[in-house]
Structure 1
Amino acid sequence: MHHLNQNGSTPMLRLRHAPILAVFLGVFVAAPLRSDAQDVVIEPDVVYGHKLGLAMTCDVFTPVEHVNGAAVLFMVSGGWYSHWSPPEQTQHMFKPLTDEGFTVFAVRHGSSPKFSIAEAVADVRRSVRFIRINTEKFQVDPNRIGVFGMSAGGHLSLMLGTASDDGITDSKDPVERVSDRVNAVVAYVAPTDLRIMARDAPDRLPAYQRFPALDIDMIAAEPNSPIVHVTPDDAPTLLLAGAKDDLVPISHSRNIEAAFEEANVESKLIEFENAGHGFGGEDAENATKAMVDWFVTHLTK
């Protein structure tokens, strides 16, 4: 839930986040660039929408060989703050996915405190619609779209997995008329119930006062709490959580996993016994393998 600095660290959890970010997270260019070392074509700053006169953008990482036709969106979000970095500096984050043939989209949203969590959710919904309506351009299958993220990014991923729609049929915008549903979700250390994080929550953790995005009441928090949207048609979901997480307690993942089970949604929770809000070493490697395997299983077979 902490925002990333330009070097990929966070203000409060620099070292703890670095190993896991290194598993996932090069020089800015204005056109697609072929990286011979990584066998990836990078298309930076693709505009998927506009808001208040500004562009909303994502970076696209397309493998050169063994392309499998599936798309995976990464939610660039920490504390519901979306930070820009040159894509050449972040492409190694996605190598485990591009090596398997996935086309990866690093999606940025309007950041806190300027924009609310609800607005961030709306932004990433549009990103899915935009990619789906442009699947011919990106050479991906509209029925094989996955999403993943960490912390706030995991929350946004879960919102796409549990609370999406088939399109706004009466919209004048053709993008809005397209579905924002996804076909697989992986959520790392994700908040699943914003009501218990809201400013008027009885047992709110003091740490949440540091996050402007959580300056909401319990009523406003409910529509953007993934746990309240769980239904049998939700996307297959993998949850990755640290048992010692003192920022987003593991109960968030356990509770939504129980809800998924009750609704007969295909899901799995992997708990890392010694991890907190971020994984390192062997935990990071195992989490990455589980994430890639989940997408391979649900998007390529």
Structure 2
Amino acid sequence: MTKFKMNKLIFLTVFAMSINAFSQDVIMPLWPKGKIPNQIVSNEKEVHEQKDILRISKVQEPTIEVYLPSKKNATGQAVLIFPGGGYSILAYDWEGTDIAKFLNSKGIAGIVVKYRLPSSISQTNQEYVPLIDVQRALRMVRSKAEEFHIDATKIGIMGFSAGGHLASTLGTHFDEKIYDPIDEVDKLSARPDFMVLCYPVISMNESWAHNGSQNNLLTKKPRSGLTDYFSNEKQVNTTTPPTFLVHASDDKGVPVENSLVFYRALIKNEVPAAMHIFPKGGHGFGLGLKDKYLRTWPELLFGWMESLD
């Protein structure tokens, strides 16, 4: 082997090792193999479709995908991200990994949760399955605070659309036992330290409720009591975490009333809350980067997050 080829091989080897050493995303299963709660063995398979965005459906193995900022930039804060999709799909990059990378630019750990979507084929009591997964995800991240170089008392959640409903569900049902503990992780608190709700679905029984999310989560014939249980404006109390809400007035998919009614419930219970309603943006605007006004919402969020310290 010539000296040139040897040097080239050494360079490529070192370069590959560097990429591996500084790679920011790590995917971890939420549950030990064979111990996923409420799971039924079936022929249902997970589906990934990459078009304008990555859409994941029929999730079978819930995971967290962890993006960490450099240690020098880290604030100690972490945010678990719940992509939306009407409890039918997950808009996994648009409202997930893109958000995590954006948070990293501000020194915040971004952790995307690939949670199971309700399925009568592969689950029992499908209504509780997404909540089961995100309770576990919050506990798992808290258990790994030292490993991830984050503060265990500064772990928040962020949800978009139906993911916003799931986030508000966790924020109002974090202390309810909905699965049997399987290890030491499940002894930790599932309470988020703060919530960020982006054009969230909130109610399940009002005229402006999002029918798709309601039908996918609760079915078209919900069992008694579940519509109120998952109408999270009715579940707010003084232990609900501080909350930041963002919505657009012209949202035709999930009307702005969802954010308004949740904000009123927070204020009634003296929970610290901030809400930003933009005149336009429609539904599913994500980071809003293509609109000069709408794209200011993440900066408003970062300022609010700093105020929590």
TM-score (norm 2): 0.73
Shift of 1:160: 2.2
Task: Kindly indicate whether structure 1 or structure 2 has the higher relative contact order, using CA contacts under 8 Å at least 6 residues apart.
Answer: 1
* Mapped contact 2:100–2:112 kept (Cα < 8 A): no
The percentage of aligned residue pairs carrying the same residue is 23
* Equivalent position SS for 1:288: helix
Shift of 1:207: 5.5
Distance 1:111 1:77 in 2: 11
* Mapped contact 1:242–1:278 kept (Cα < 8 A): no
Query: Corresponding residue for 2:83?
Result: 76
Query: Corresponding residue for 1:143?
Result: 153
Distance 2:246 2:188 in 1: 30
Distance 2:235 2:18 in 1: 40
Distance 2:235 2:142 in 1: 22
* Mapped contact 1:77–1:108 kept (Cα < 8 A): no
RMSD, aligned CA: 3.3
Query: Corresponding residue for 2:216?
Result: 212
* Equivalent position SS for 1:55: coil
Distance 2:163 2:191 in 1: 16
Query: Corresponding residue for 1:179?
Result: 189
1:89-136 CA-partner distances (Å, limit 9, x unpaired)? 965433331122111100111123455342101111110011112222
2:175 to 151, 154, 165: 165
Q: Structure 1 residue 256 and structure 2 residue 266: aligned? A: no
Query: Corresponding residue for 2:30?
Result: 48
* Mapped contact 1:34–1:42 kept (Cα < 8 A): no
Distance 1:205 1:90 in 2: 24
Query: Corresponding residue for 2:247?
Result: 241
* Mapped contact 1:148–1:154 kept (Cα < 8 A): yes
* Mapped contact 2:66–2:110 kept (Cα < 8 A): yes
Over 3 Å counting, the alpha-carbon distance change for 1:105 and 1:77 in structure 2 is: same
Amino acid at match of 2:234: V
Shift of 1:81: 3.7
* Mapped contact 2:203–2:209 kept (Cα < 8 A): no
Amino acid at match of 1:71: A
Distance 1:108 1:194 in 2: 23
Distance 1:168 1:111 in 2: 16
1:124-163 CA-partner distances (Å, limit 9, x unpaired)? 1110011112222222111110111210111111122222
* Mapped contact 1:244–1:274 kept (Cα < 8 A): yes
Q: Structure 1 residue 297 and structure 2 residue 304: aligned? A: no
Correspondences of 1:78-227 after superposition (within 5 Å): 78-83=85-90, 91-114=97-120, 116-165=126-175, 171-196=181-206, 203=207, 208=212, 212-215=216-219, 216-217=221-222, 219-227=225-233
Pairs aligned (count): 259
TM-score (norm 1): 0.74
Distance 2:238 2:196 in 1: 17
Shift of 1:70: 1.6
Shift of 1:204: 6.7
Over 3 Å counting, the alpha-carbon distance change for 1:97 and 1:213 in structure 2 is: same
* Equivalent position SS for 1:141: coil
Over 3 Å counting, the alpha-carbon distance change for 1:90 and 1:108 in structure 2 is: closer
* Mapped contact 1:161–1:237 kept (Cα < 8 A): no
Unmatched 5+ stretches in structure 1: 1-31, 197-202
Shift of 1:170: 8.4
Over 3 Å counting, the alpha-carbon distance change for 1:205 and 1:76 in structure 2 is: closer
Query: Corresponding residue for 1:58?
Result: 64
Amino acid at match of 2:27: D
* Mapped contact 1:110–1:119 kept (Cα < 8 A): yes
